Structure 1
Amino acid sequence: MKIVFFTFFCLLGFGTVSAQINKDKAVEVILLAGQSNMAGAGNYTALDSLVKERVIKVANRVMISNSGNPLKPLSFYLSKGHKEKYGFEEAFGPELMIGVTLAEKNPNTLYLCIKRAQGGTALYGAWNPEWTAEKAIEVEAEGFKRELKLYSNFINDIKVNLKRLDDKGIKYKIIGMVWEQGENDAAKEVSTLSYEANLAKLINGIRTEFHVNDMPFVLGQINSHYGNFPAGPETVRTAQEHITQVLKNVAVIKTTANEPYDDFPKHSDKVHYNEIGQYRLGVAFAEALLQMKNQK
């Protein structure tokens, strides 16, 4: 194996990579998208110091572009909203332990996470690959969310980041996508009943756009209960399981349907995963991606 110090990664934000890297090995790209539990309300400050050390140790090999923002090494992000609601500002989503788990399993690989998340948005509306103003008005809350075209924004995020690699002559490979979303679709009948069909369109759309027809796709099963359609949560949960039988290379991280949510613990709002829940969720996503990758 050749030892290469990727000085050109300084231009991308990677800095100097001291690990042994095969210069012909592609940067592995992970796509991440969804609503608030993808954005993440994990309390980074509350994590064990050993976990934080693990994050720091791999941060020079895992970069993230979050919602169109410039590349940064893997770490927490700052949230004024979480500070007001939960009392902490340093927050993280599933990308944290996805990055740590993948990097620890593959110490000679560089990773790029491309993430876009917006709380309180629906696949029927803002995330719809076939977005229309009428659909957005049906399901999105009044205000800016009715104007959001998150699917097209996400496609643009990916293209910008991949072009950055292309421009520097850096090889890359999209190894999978992680999806954490569905709570807002379960809140209304029209979005609930079309969830599986819309999810299939999103998966097929991403795969087709970036010529990765067999791209592994892992989704987290929802378990929140709110909205005006009582059958919504269970219907969406069932759709999220069934899609794994309809499309190839799709996996679901199953969750318990009701409290106390011991598998992936939540904050007291019973909606958002806390630091333990987000930690476990990230590990589960990463392990599923690795298993699907190894089966190919």
Structure 2
Amino acid sequence: MQTKTKFIGFFLLLFILFGYAQKNTVKVILLAGQSNIQGHGDYDLLEDSVKQRIQKIAHRVYLSTSDNSKIEPKPLSYYTQNDRRGKYNFQHHFGPEIFVGLTMAEAYPNQQFLLIKKAVGGTSLHGAWSANWTQEKANVSEIGAERKALQLYKAHLKNIESNLNRLKQDGKSYQIIGLAWMQGEADTNSQLKANNYQQNLENLIAAYRAELGKLDFPFVIGQINVLPRKYKQGPTIVRKAMETVANKDTNVALIKTSTNPSWLDYPKHSDNIHYNTEGQKRLGTDFGKRLIEFIK
């Protein structure tokens, strides 16, 4: 009887220690892309009940958007953007990270999360986001000297590294659970960028996995649904490329979107490009749900 009691006690201790370790392991979520990851939802339009839910979990869900190691992550909330061009008549913007964080935190009520986001509007996977960046590719892919100099994949890695080092210094363990990717609108504008999108996306996924040392690292793609612009076939080619990548890889999920300009699935602003408050809410929630599926 005494041996049995010791045996039960030993496994009870293991269970407690395992639960403690899980509770004190920070779950890290990566977000990357262009303007619809940057986000132009109006935080002030969210219902008070939703804001209260966000505030309730913000103390254990942090967001980092800088590759400057001196800038610490902040509790999950909106960001302020002064609208100098008059495109939006509000200042408190948010991207999918708000509802990614909320969805994850409510699903795991005792868990801490860190979201690490890198996003610059109007940037291309063929150029600024390329895992195999060259100045030549940036010159033909990006508009303006500032974007031609951007190396966003490397910048995101720098941000990730500085945040993980901070967790280590604080004595915390971590687990990187996946990346939410919303990008591709800029690559629909030319035949070169659109036709190379599938290979560029596969290269990017492989690069993140190699850098993080996780060959099964989950990648969730938000399917672009921009209207045709300079290169009419561009949106169809990029959308198909995203579907092909997801179908080939069991650790890649695709959030499918409609091309119907009523945008009833993920509502948009009047520019027909950027998701509005409700669109960002739905996009972030669906990103969170897909990531939870990978965890389970």
Which TM-score applies when normalising by structure 2? 0.90
Distance 2:235 2:66 in 1: 27
Distance in 2 (CA, whole Å) between partners of 1:162 and 1:248 is 27
Cα distance in 1 between the residues matched to 2:215 and 2:166: 23
Q: CA deviation at 1:80?
A: 1.2
Q: Is contact 1:188–1:227 with CA below 8 Å preserved after alignment? A: no
Q: Cα offset for 1:239?
A: 0.7
1:156 is aligned to 158
Aligned pair partner of 1:200 in 199, 202, 207:
202
Whole-Å separation in 1 of the counterparts to 2:22 and 2:286 = 29
Q: What residue in structure 2 maps to residue 46 of structure 1?
A: 45
- State the alpha-carbon separation in 1 of the partners of residues 170 and 270 from structure 2: 46
Tell me the equivalent position of 2:268: 266
Q: Select the structure of larger CA radius of gyration.
A: 2
In 1, Cα distance between the equivalents of 2:20 and 2:36?
35
The residue aligned with 2:220 is: 218
Q: CA RMSD in A?
A: 1.6
**What SS class does the counterpart of residue 263 from structure 2 fall into?**
coil
Does residue 76 of structure 2 align to residue 74 of structure 1?
A: yes
5+ residue gaps, structure 1: 3-20
Query: Cα gap change, 1:130/1:245 in structure 2, threshold over 3 Å: closer, same or farther?
Result: same
Residues 41 and 82 of structure 1 are in contact (CA less than 8 Å); yes or no, is this contact kept in structure 2? no
Does 2:66 match 1:31?
no
Q: How high is the TM-score relative to the length of structure 1?
A: 0.90
Quick check: 1:94 aligned with 2:92?
no
Asked if the contact 1:216–1:249 (Cα under 8 Å) also holds between the matched residues in 2, the reply is: yes
Which residue identity is paired with 1:62? V
One-letter code aligned to 2:76: L
Structure 1 residues 82 and 257: CA distance shift in structure 2, 3 A: farther
Partner Cα distance (1:229, 1:290) in 2 = 36
Count of aligned residue pairs for this structure pair = 276
Which ranges of structure 2 fall in alignment gaps of 5 or more residues?
1-11, 14-18
Give 1:86 deviation, angstroms.
1.3
Aligned residues of 1:216 and 1:293 also touching (Cα < 8 A): no
- Bigger CA drift: 138-147 or 117-126? 138-147
1:184 matched to which residue of 2?
186
- Displacement, 1:211? 0.9
Match 1:243 to one of 221, 226, 245: 245
Question: Secondary structure in 1 aligned to 2:242?
Answer: helix
Q: Tell me if structure 2 keeps the 8 A contact 1:179–1:217.
A: yes
Per the alignment, residue 62 of structure 1 pairs with: 61
Q: What pairs up with 1:103-182 in 2 under 5 angstroms?
A: 103-182=105-184
Q: 2:289 aligns with which of 275, 287, 290?
A: 287
State the percentage of identical aligned residues: 44
Structure 1 outlier segments of 4+, above 4 Å: none
Q: Helix, strand or coil for the counterpart of 1:265?
A: coil
Identify the structure with the greater helix proportion.
2
